[in-house]
Amino acid sequence: MTNIDFKAEVEARKTDLLADLFSLLAINSERDDSQATAETPFGSGPVAALKQFLSLAERDGYATKNVDNYAGHFTYGDDLPDEAQVLGIFAHMDVVPAGTGWNSNPYEPEIRDGKIYARGSSDDKGPTMACYYGLKILKELNLPLTKKIRFIVGTDEESGWGDMAYYFKHVGLPEPDFGFSPDAEFPIINGEKGNITEYLHFSGENNGRVHLHEFSGGLRENMVPESATAVISGDLVDLNAKLETFIKTYATKHIRFDIENGIENRKIVTLHGRSAHGAMPEKGVNGATYLAKFLDEIGVESAFTKIAGTLVFEDHAGKKLGLAFEDAKMGALSMNAGVFKFDEHSSDNTIALNFRYPQGTDSDRIYAVLTKLSGVAKVTKSAHEHLPHYVPMTDELVSTLLSVYEKQTGLKGHEQIIGGGTFGRLLKRGVAFGAMFPGDIDTMHQANEFIPVDVLLRAAAIYAEAIYELAK
């Protein structure tokens, strides 16, 4: 390995790195299908962030390519022979919805107590810029490389990955030979579970002593719903007292509620939980399932609330549904009930269940079990599915990245397999690498998302050396 002090090189560029990162964090790049056009396939925000990122690369002298505002890349090493291998680096500019509960504007980044607070600070704009500056250091030091580098940035990682599907189909270049995504944690993520969302469909029929008119909860399938709202009528005597008792029963979950008056003696009840990443639903408090349980207890008779409030309630492994499964290497299946939609006048009400499943089971088995649930009209699958992915420890990509991590941190590297899905799985020889360190607080997909400045700088130094070792 080289003796260059990459940490010192990063520190010398700290001010510029933070300025460039803030220029990206200030852009609300949530997917917005209401703004989708031929020019803005996932809304105007993701496009704006993509263009800003590519403009930074152009400023620094890279050759860039924007593939119809779906994704883009810049290249380094164009002077190398055509047959030179290509190292791919995959990142993304889109973010999940900010939601509520922030102590500051999620799109006005600020540093408090050494932490950068903003939506996208840790997922994935912060790690992206740490990696970008890692490569920038190699370029400015003019270190000799034998492999080309293609830094690819998408705009739909948090949804259906339509950006990468379009990119690979239209970019006119072969896939990189190997690569990594700075969109997870250290020491490495060399395995990822399969990922599928399956939708339970219900009629609007319900005829209990409490009538459910509407129910909504959740922003994205890969987020734990932080809150849910129901419109109800009927036997609502002592509704406030019943809610107070319910809240006290689950006091350790820190849930809370609001009640408003609606039309025609209806009540609008909102229950607030806590959001979390859908790959780790146990870290959140699913406001939708708690509200469904409450409604089930006070007299709503609906398959929608029965399943949400009993079979799905507080079960992140699918045990009550009969879906629990565990693989010795890849771990256990997990389930996140992410989006709930109900209208009494609709014949197609849905609960979206997002599954992260290990090798040894599959989406068809999950589907077969779900179709047998009483009260479910039908089950459908999302169009996009990720199959389980694994790159062995013996692969030079994995061993090189771990050796860099060990050198820079003094910590022992080891393999990790997660339920989350990253762009690392786009390549057969692809992994995720950083930027969270062991013991760091994970605030991805949560209110008050942050990344510590020192973590950002440590990661940038690791990325610089890692890219050099992989491409030298």
Which residues are known to be catalytic? 94, 157
How far apart are alpha carbons 226 and 461 in whole angstroms?
A: 35
Are the C-beta atoms of residues 257 and 272 closer than 8 Å to each other?
yes
79: how many CB neighbours lie within 10 A of its CB?
7
How far apart are alpha carbons 119 and 228 in whole angstroms?
A: 21
Q: What are the distances in angstroms from CA 21 to CA 26, 58, 441, 459?
A: 9, 16, 20, 14
Q: Where are the alpha helices (DSSP H) in 356-452?
A: 363-370, 396-409
Q: What are the distances in angstroms from CA 16 to CA 10, 93, 107, 466?
A: 10, 19, 19, 21
How far apart are alpha carbons 76 and 143 in whole angstroms?
A: 12
Q: And the tokens for 150?
A: 């293609």
Q: What are phi and psi of 243, to 5 degrees?
A: -65, -40
Are the C-beta atoms of residues 215 and 228 closer than 8 Å to each other?
yes
How far apart are alpha carbons 425 and 17 in whole angstroms?
A: 27
Ramachandran class of 259: left when φ > 0, alpha when ψ lies in -120 to 50, beta otherwise: beta
